[in-house]
């Protein structure tokens, strides 16, 4: 009898349903923290996260096509886009986009750039590192006469949107010739896929400049630059400078809490600060999967703050988390009942 019961128990365990991983796709900007959260969450709950780091454009397309439970984007969708596709949007963390360079003799934080000068580099107007505009910002630096190798994102990218949105704000010439979007036509340089691709390309190319999320700069030991902010101060990227940029944000001012944090006022603000966002269908086809995804993000807000800070992201303020959870009430299943409740 004991042998029979043991055999039955083994068969039952073998045939018990295995909980599927949560599926998501999109922005490469938050991938380091999503990967860290996913690892810890699986150890605690047994539920994994299958996240494809394919760029914001890909994430938007996949959630619109219903091929993933959630999409991720650093370019927040506008109200009409959310309504058209029946989507709820909410932020997860705040981070910083940083210019990174590969110049012999220049270490992290040693070179100072400002928005108008970067705009001219990406327009192809400034071609060498010893250009007078760069020298003026760095009078004591030994700048080579090497040609500047411009690196940009080749895929549809929220990082590119935030980068070009900032450059458009500080340079009328850039705004008129290139503009702000997730995918633009730069007149010079080489493209690379994802934050990973840009980081690797800059690392391998002498004389190059690119733009990546700060965690990628640190992980790849790339030399970030300082930036002159709206107050005219040269600042370093840091949790503190990202927090300073986000501190005055009016999250209710944009549909789906889609606030743009670039070029904020203040002496200590980092001018290329950005939030990253999640997209979920208001009326999901797979209610159970969406419930699991919202449980994951609920856990991340409650327990993931320390991990976010260790990777140089800024956790959302409690007041913003409350707004996010309120928005989850729009995600409904059968009989229009909310999928998630605290």
* Average confidence (pLDDT) per 10 residues, the chain, 342 residues: 38 46 96 97 96 96 96 96 97 97 96 98 98 97 96 95 97 98 96 96 97 95 97 97 91 94 95 97 96 97 97 94 96 91 76
Residue-wise over 42-58: b if at least 16 C-beta within 10 A, else e? eeeeebbbebbbbbbbb
Angle at 230 between CA 224 and CA 235, to 5 degrees: 30
What pTM value is reported for the model? 0.90
- Helix (H) or strand (E) run with residue 11 in it: helix 2-15
Q: Which pair of structure tokens corresponds to residue 272?
A: 């290329």
Three-class DSSP category at 33 = helix
Three-class DSSP category at 147 = strand
Three-class DSSP category at 214 = helix
d(CA 272, CA 162): 7
What pLDDT score was predicted for residue 341?
82
Q: Specify whether the CB–CB gap between 180 and 126 falls below 8 A.
A: no
d(CA 11, CA 5): 10
């Amino acid at each position: 009898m004991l042998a029979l019961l043991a055999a039955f128990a083994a068969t039952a365990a073998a045939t018990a349903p295995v909980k599927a991983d949560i599926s998501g796709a999109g922005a490469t900007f938050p991938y380091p923290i999503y990967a860290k959260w996913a690892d810890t969450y699986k150890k605690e709950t047994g539920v994994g996260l299958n996240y494809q780091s394919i760029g914001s454009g890909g994430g938007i397309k996949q959630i619109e096509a219903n091929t993933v439970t959630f999409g991720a984007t650093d370019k927040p969708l506008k109200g009409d886009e959310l309504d058209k596709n029946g989507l709820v949007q909410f932020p997860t963390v705040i981070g910083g986009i940083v210019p990174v360079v590969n110049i012999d003799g220049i270490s992290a934080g040693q070179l100072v750039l400002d928005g108008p000068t970067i705009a001219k580099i990406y327009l192809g107007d400034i071609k060498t590192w010893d250009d007078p505009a760069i020298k003026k910002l760095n009078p004591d630096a030994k700048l080579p006469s090497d040609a500047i190798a411009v690196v940009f994102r080749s895929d549809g990218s929220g990082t590119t949107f935030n980068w070009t949105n900032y450059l458009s704000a500080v340079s009328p010439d850039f705004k008129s010739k290139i503009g702000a979007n997730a995918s633009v036509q730069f007149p010079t340089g080489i493209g690379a896929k994802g934050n990973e691709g840009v980081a690797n390309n800059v690392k391998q190319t002498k004389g190059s400049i690119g733009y990546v999320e700060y965690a990628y700069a640190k992980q790849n030991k790339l030399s970030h630059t300082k930036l002159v902010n709206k107050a005219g101060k040269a600042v370093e990227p840091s949790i503190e400078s990202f927090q300073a940029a986000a501190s005055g944000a009016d999250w209710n001012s944009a549909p789906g809490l889609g606030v743009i944090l670039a070029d904020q006022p203040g002496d200590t603000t980092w001018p290329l600060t950005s939030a990253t966002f999640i997209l979920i269908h208001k009326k999901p086809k797979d209610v159970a999967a969406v419930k699991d995804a919202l449980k994951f993000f609920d856990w991340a807000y409650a327990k993931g703050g320390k991990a976010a800070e260790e990777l140089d992201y800024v956790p959302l303020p409690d007041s913003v988390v409350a707004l996010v959870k309120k928005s989850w009430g729009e995600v409904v299943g059968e009989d229009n009942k909310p999928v998630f409740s605290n």
